[in-house]
A and B are shown apart, each in its own frame.
Chain A
Amino acid sequence: MSEYVVRRRVYFTIYAILIACTLLTAQVAFLDLGAWNTVAAVGIAAFKAVLVILFFMHVRYSTPLTWLVVGGSLFWFGILLVLTMSDYLTRGWHTY
């Protein structure tokens, strides 16, 4: 078999980081950081998601085609968010 078998120690390490990040984000949420609260919350969530994708879902060890599909799904989600928000956030702009 040529498939890459991830060592269990890697899974336990990633798990520890994920749990630590969960506790961290729950604590940070109570600090008043203004607009940075959302940045911190979504940033930590994105970091956790990347760890799950790369290690638990084996993308780190996958074919370039898999990378392309994963990246493509995130890129299209980005289009959905950016174009939608660029509409809604600029509706109050009057040019007259």
Chain B
Amino acid sequence: MLPDTAHHHSSALAHQFDTIEQQRDATTLGMWVFLATEVLFFGGLFATYSIYRVWYPDAFGAASRTLDITLGTINTAVLITSSLTMALAVHSAQVGQRRLLMLFLVVTMALGLVFLGIKGYEYYQKFVEHHVPGSNFQFAPEYARNAQIFFSLYFMMTGLHAAHMIIGLGIMTWMLVWSWNGTVSREYASPIEIAGLYWHFVDIIWIFLYPLLYLIGRHVHV
């Protein structure tokens, strides 16, 4: 068998690929196929939201106005900032700046934790105000039944989003270890790029949750 130099120039190249570029294109494509399933996973909830929003616009508006728009807006900015630091982490990996890569991963994780902390405080507020659907739910009587549908969707959608954030923090911890022990290198930055795609996707979900949950009822002044 002829020696194939392409298979030996990098230990990061898996044997089924001819070149590291081919491997990177394949991993990127694979991640996007996964994200396509995620679009439809969240898509079902967005479709459910759309139906009930059309059916009960007044109750949805009244329930939406009880959310803290300041905290919601701050959290949106926090998550977008974490996407910036994630993009800078990918850049650092691609140009082989390992210390900067690890710094940006840590900052991204810290911003993710800030987001979850603010979200947790908002959940706490909702419990105090009896806005959690169930037997202790309290709301203006004319909207009570349908406001519970809004808050069910609110907790389901933000909860599923928060679960993705927690998984993202796990992935970032993994990437931090791989950056620290040298698994990730300038030649093999794919793991950071793939982890970045996941993190940005979770950011995009929030970009839509923020207006749909926090902003829809603000123009009605009561």
Contact = CB atoms under 8 A, between A and B. Distances in A.
Interface of A: 1-3, 5-6, 8, 11-12, 15, 18-19, 22-23, 25-26, 29-33, 37-38, 41-42, 44-45, 48-49, 52-53, 55-58, 62-63, 65-66, 69-70, 72-74, 76-77, 80-81, 84-85, 88-89
A36 B21 CA distance: 46
A3 B94 contact: yes
B46 to A, nearest CB: 7
A45 B207 contact: yes
Given A26-B215, A37-B216, A63-B25, A69 B32 contact: yes
Interface in B26-73: 28-29, 32-33, 35-36, 39-40, 43-44, 46-47, 50-51, 54-55, 69, 73
A89 B55 CA distance: 9
A85 B46 CA distance: 12
Nearest to A88: B51
Q: Give 7 closest A-B pairs by Cβ, nearest first.
A: A73-B36, A41-B211, A29-B215, A29-B218, A15-B84, A73-B39, A32-B219
Nearest to B70: A26
A2 B208 contact: no
Contacts of A56: 83-84, 86-87, 196, 200, 203
A62 B76 contact: no
Given A1-B187, A5-B91, A29 B207 contact: no
A41 B212 contact: yes
Interface string B84-100: 10111001001100000
Contact of A26 (B43, B69, B221): B69
Interface string B131-143: 0000000000000
Nearest to A69: B32
B35 to A, nearest CB: 7
27 contacts: A1-B94, A1-B187, A3-B189, A6-B91, A11-B87, A11-B91, A15-B84, A22-B77, A25-B211, A25-B215, A26-B69, A29-B211, A37-B216, A37-B219, A42-B208, A52-B207, A53-B204, A56-B200, A56-B203, A57-B197, A65-B25, A66-B29, A81-B46, A84-B50, A85-B50, A85-B54, A89-B54
A45 B208 contact: yes
A30 B219 contact: yes
Given A25-B211, A32-B219, A70-B32, A57 B196 contact: yes
B103 interface: no
Contacts of A76: 36, 39-40, 43
Given A3-B21, A66-B32, A84-B51, A33 B219 contact: yes
B80 A5 contact: no
A5 B94 contact: yes
B81 interface: yes
Interface string B190-222: 000100110011011001101110011011110
B28 A66 contact: yes
